[in-house]
Structure 1
C-alpha cells in the first residue's frame, strides 16, 4: 500500500510538471483520459509484479517452542516450595517446584517391603523343589522296598515259608507306596511350575513387586519438577499451598525453550506462486525500528486449518464467503540463526525476493521494507 501511494504521488508530480509547471503539453479532456489510463495500468502492473515477484506480509512472528509444566501426580498433593520466579532464566536440570513427598515415600517403602518379601518367596520356591525331590526319592525308596517284599513273599508263600497274611500286608503297602510316589511326583511338578512362573527370566512375583517399586520411585521423583532444558519460565502463577494431582490436567506454568526458535510469516496462497526454499528474504522487526535483517526461505508450510476436517458427528459446512487461509513460510535469519536476540512473539514484516520481474521490482520492495522499519520509530502513536 505504501509503495502504491508513492507511485501515485510520483506520477501526479510528473503530470503536474508536464501540464502545469513546464507546460510541455496542454491539458484537456483527451489528455486527462490518457493520463488516467496510463497511470492506472502502470500502477496496476507494478502492484501485480510486486505481489507475485516480491511477496510481502506484515504478519511475521518469532516462534519459540513451549513446554507446559504439568505435575504428574496421581493423588492430590500440596506444593511446598517454588524455586523459580516470573520470567527467570533456568538451565536444564534446575529445580522448579517441590511437592509434598510424604504419601509417595510411604508408598515406596511399602513397595520395597513387598519386593523383599517376593524375593524371599522366590527362594522358598527353590527350597520347595528340593523338599519335593527328597520326598519323591523317599516315596520311591519305600515303593521299591514294598515291591521287593511282595516279590519275596510271593515265592515263600507257595512253599509254606511264609503266611498269606504277610504277603497281603506287603501287597497293600506296595499299593500305598506307589500312591505316595504319584503324589510326590505331583508335588514336585507343582513346585517346579511355581518356580518357573517367570517374566523375562525373573520370578513373576518379584517382577511384579519390582514394577511397583519403580512406579512408586517414579512418583517420588515427580514430586520435584526440574527444568526440561535451557529456557525461561513464563506465566508462573503457582505458589506454595497449591494442590495438584488427582483430576487436575492443566499446566501450572509455561516454559519457553531457548533451543530451535524460528521466524514464521504468513502469505496469501497465490502470492507464493514463485517462492522456493533458499530465496533471499528481508525482515523488519518492530522491536528493532530502522533495522533490516537478511535471511532465506527455509520451507513453505503448504497447509492451513481449512484443509483439515476434524472427525465429529455433524456434516461439514463450507461457507462460500469465508476468508482463505494463509500459508506460513519459515525463514532463517542470517545474522542470528539461533534467534537469541528475539523474544517469542516478536512481530515484524517480511519480503521474499524471487528474482522475477526485474531488479526495479526488488528495489521498490526494498524501499517499502525500509519505510516500514523507519515508521516503527513513531508507530503506534501512543506518546
Structure 2
C-alpha cells in the first residue's frame, strides 16, 4: 500500500508539472482520460511486478523455542522453593524449583528394602535347589536299599529262609521309596524353575524390585526441576505453596530457550511463484526503527493448517471462498544469524528480491522497506 501511494504521488506530481507548472500540454477531457488510463496501467503493472518479483509482507516475527515446564509427579506435592526470578537468565542444569520430597523419599526407602528382600529370596532359591537335590539323593538311596531287600527275600521265602510277611513289608517299602523319589525329583524341578525365572540373567523378583527402586528414584529426582538448556523464564508465577501432581496436567511455567531461534515471514501463496532458497532478503523490525537488516531465504514452509484434515467422525466441511492460508518463509539474517539480539515475538516487514522484472523493481521495493523502517519512528502514534 505504501509503495502504491508513493507511485500515485510521483505520477500526480509529474502530471502537475506537465499540465500546470510548465504547461507543456493543455489539460482537457481527452488528456484527462489518457492521463488516468496511463496512470492506472502504470500503477497496475508496477504493483504486479512488485508482488511477484519482490514479494513483501508486514507479517514477520522472530520465533524462539519454548519448553513447557511441567512437574512429573504422581501425587499431590507442594512447591517448597523457587530458585529463579522473572526474566532471569539461567544455564543448563541450574535449579528452578524444589518440591517436597518426604513421600518420594519414603517410597524409595520402601522399594530399596523390598529389593534387599528379593535378593535374599533369590539366594534362598539356590539353597532350595541344593536341599531338594539332597532329598532326592536320600530317596534314591532308600529306593535302592528297599530293592535289594526285596530281591534278597524273594530268594529266601521259597526256600523257607524267611517269612512271606517280611517280603511283603519290603515290597511295600520299595513302592513307598519309589514314590518318594518321584516327589523329590518334582521338588528339584520346581526349585530349579523358580531359580530359572530370570530377566536378562537376573532373578525375576529381583528385577521387579529393582524396577520399583528405579521408579521411586525417578520420582524423587523429579521433585527438583532443572533448566533443560540455556534460556530464561519470561513470567515467573509459581510460588511456594503451589500444589502440583495428581490430576494436574498443565505447565507451571514457559521456558524460553536461547538456542535455535528463527525468523518467519508469511506471504500469499501466489507471491512465492519465483521465490527460491538463498535469494536476498531485507527485514525491517519494529523494535529497531530506521534500520534495515539483510539476509537470505532459508526455506519455504509449503503447508498450512488448511492442508490438514484431522481424523474424526465428522464429514469435512469445506467453506466456499474461505480465505487462503499464507505460506511461511524462514529467513536467515546476515548480521546476526543466531538472532541473539532479537527477542522472541519481535515483529517486522520483509521483502524478497527474486531478481526478476529488472533492477527498478528492486529499487522500488527497497524504497518501500526504508519507508516502513523510518515510519516506525512515528507509528504506532501514541504520545
Shorter-chain-normalised TM-score: which range? over 0.9
Say which is worse superposed, 319-328 or 65-74, in terms of deviation.
319-328
Q: Secondary structure at the match of 2:265?
A: strand
| Deviation digits for residues 78-111 of structure 1 (CA, Å, limit 9, x no counterpart) | 0000000111111000000000000000000000
Could you tell me which residue of structure 1 aligns to residue 159 of structure 2?
A: 159
Distance (Å, rounded) in 1 between the aligned partners of 2:243 and 2:28: 82
Q: Which 4+ runs in 1 deviate beyond 4 A? A: none
Distance (Å, rounded) in 1 between the aligned partners of 2:329 and 2:134: 79
Q: Tell whether 2:96 aligns with 1:96.
A: yes
Could you tell me which residue of structure 2 aligns to residue 50 of structure 1?
A: 50
Distance (Å, rounded) in 1 between the aligned partners of 2:25 and 2:8: 20
Could you tell me which residue of structure 2 aligns to residue 112 of structure 1?
A: 112
Say which is worse superposed, 250-259 or 15-24, in terms of deviation.
15-24
Q: Tell whether 2:301 aligns with 1:301.
A: yes
Could you tell me which residue of structure 2 aligns to residue 258 of structure 1?
A: 258
Say which is worse superposed, 150-159 or 172-181, in terms of deviation.
150-159
| Deviation digits for residues 26-64 of structure 1 (CA, Å, limit 9, x no counterpart) | 111111111111111011000000000000000000001
| Deviation digits for residues 344-377 of structure 1 (CA, Å, limit 9, x no counterpart) | 0000000001111011000100010011111111
Say which is worse superposed, 32-41 or 16-25, in terms of deviation.
16-25
Distance (Å, rounded) in 1 between the aligned partners of 2:310 and 2:227: 34
Distance (Å, rounded) in 2 between the aligned partners of 1:317 and 1:166: 98
Could you tell me which residue of structure 2 aligns to residue 227 of structure 1?
A: 227
Structure 1 portions without partners, runs of 5+: none
Give TM-score scaled by structure 1 length: 0.99
Q: Kindly report which structure 2 residues correspond to 1:321-340, keeping only aligned pairs within 5 A, or say none.
A: 321-340=321-340
Q: Secondary structure at the match of 2:289?
A: coil
Q: Tell whether 2:362 aligns with 1:367.
A: no
Q: Tell whether 2:6 aligns with 1:6.
A: yes
Distance (Å, rounded) in 2 between the aligned partners of 1:51 and 1:347: 21
Instruction: Tell me by how many angstroms 1:160 deviates.
Output: 2.1
Q: Kindly report which structure 2 residues correspond to 1:101-250, keeping only aligned pairs within 5 A, or say none.
A: 101-250=101-250
| Deviation digits for residues 154-211 of structure 1 (CA, Å, limit 9, x no counterpart) | 1122222222221111111111100000000000000011111111211111111100
RMSD over aligned Cα atoms: 0.9
Give TM-score scaled by structure 2 length: 0.99
Distance (Å, rounded) in 2 between the aligned partners of 1:234 and 1:248: 22
Instruction: Tell me by how many angstroms 1:312 deviates.
Output: 2.6
Q: Tell whether 2:273 aligns with 1:273.
A: yes
Could you tell me which residue of structure 2 aligns to residue 59 of structure 1?
A: 59
Q: Tell whether 2:342 aligns with 1:342.
A: yes
Instruction: Tell me by how many angstroms 1:315 deviates.
Output: 2.5
Distance (Å, rounded) in 2 between the aligned partners of 1:237 and 1:10: 54
